[in-house]
Structures are given as structure tokens and as C-alpha cells.
Amino acid sequence: MLTTAQATTMLMLQAQMNAKVNPEWIKAAYPYLRAVVVEGAEAMEHRGWKWWKKQECDLKQLQMELVDIWHFTLSHILLQHGGDQETSLTELLQSDTADCVRFDGVDYSIASLDLVGKLELNIGLAAAKRISVPLFAALLHDCEMDWNELYCQYVGKNVLNFFRQDNGYKAGTYRKLWGGREDNEHLVEIMQELDSTSTSFQHLLYQSLQDRYSRSA
């Protein structure tokens, strides 16, 4: 179950990240759920859905796509409430817990859908400017994650996004490949070395990334 503390922290971090990209992000009203559609399609590719060829499920990449989907889902919720984090928190924690989703006049039982079916429904909802937290929770379960794991990976990716922006990502000067590996790989390795329950987790993570990046210059 998503805790109040976790939801509060993630909404705060997401609002900060959005403001980092564009201080006027609320006025800009970016189509965050359009990004959910694209990320959902990428998740389907990592799962494998083509019946005419053999495919392997890349679970780690699939999990990362869910983390990205959650970033944009939180952004949508915040935008719907004008950036107000308290109201957004209330909506997030009081989201419908029903075990079915009504879409296009049809009731879909979440439990009856396989992983690809859930992804497909989530994409359809996003295209219609809607979200379903229970559906997302079911996606987490199918991808061998829970809310605690999502929280840890979310904070990690959020820190990496800030790190990228601070080091020239928007200007095009950031080096995504350094030390012979992509920054995502460095992130995973550092996260395994740190205590994710520590109140200093995000700060230690950022500093560790900066130290490695500086040494690779």
C-alpha cells in the first residue's frame, strides 16, 4: 500500500522536477498523459507482445518504464489541481479501489487481464485523459514490484533527472555515457550501496552521482 509519507515525498519531488524543467510548468499545461501513452507502448515492447516472433521479457527495463509512467501520472494529478500538493495528495490516497475499470462503455476486470492487457488498458485511459491507480498497482504486481520498490526506484530516477538537468541535459552538453557505462547503470549500482530508508537517501545519491561523473571527466 502506498503510504502518506511516500505519496507526499513523491508529489513534492515531482513538482520540483517539473519546475526545474520549466518554472511555468503549470501555465504550460504539458500533455503529461500523452507521455504515459508513449511510455506504455515502450513497456509493451519490453514485455513482448508480438505473436509472430519469439520475444523475451526484459523485466528490469519494464520496471523502469513503470517508474517513468508514474512520473507523468503524478505530474497529471498535480496539474489537475494547479500544483497544489495537498489536494493532489488527497486524490492520490483516496483513489478508487474498485477491481474493475470502465472504459468506452465496457467494464474491464483488472484481475482478468494479463500484463499486456493491463498496459493496453492503461494506454487507452491515458489517451482519454484518465488514470487508474488500482490498475497501476496491478501493473506493479505483475512486474514483481510493490509500492515500496516503486518509491525507491522513483526517488532514484528523480535524483538522476535533477542530476542530468544540473549537468547540461536541456542544453545538450550532458554526457549520458560516462565511465564506460550509461548513467542508469551507475544509478542502480549506487542505489544498491545506500540505505534507501535513510532520510538523507536522495542527497547521498545525488552526491555519489556527482562524484562519479566528475571523476570520469
Are 181 and 153 within one domain?
A: yes
Domain end among 92, 119, 143: 143
The alpha-carbon radius of gyration of the chain (Å, integer) is 18
Question: For residue 190, what are the domain limits?
Answer: 148-215
Instruction: Give the pLDDT band (50/70/90) at residue 10.
Output: very high
* Cα–Cα distance measured from residue 113 to residue 212, given in angstroms and rounded to the nearest whole number: 43
Query: Running DSSP on this structure, what letter comes out for residue 48?
Result: -
Of 142, 167, 108, 137, which is closest to residue 6 (Cα–Cα)? 137
Asked if residues 7 and 89 have their Cβ atoms less than 8 Å apart, the reply is yes
DSSP, res 111: G
Q: Are 16 and 99 members of one domain?
A: yes
pLDDT in tens, 73-94: 999 999 999 999 999 999 999 8
Measure the CA–CA gap between 10 and 72, rounded to whole angstroms: 12
Q: Domain boundary residue among 143, 163, 178?
A: 143
pLDDT 10s digits, 141-151? 999 999 999 99
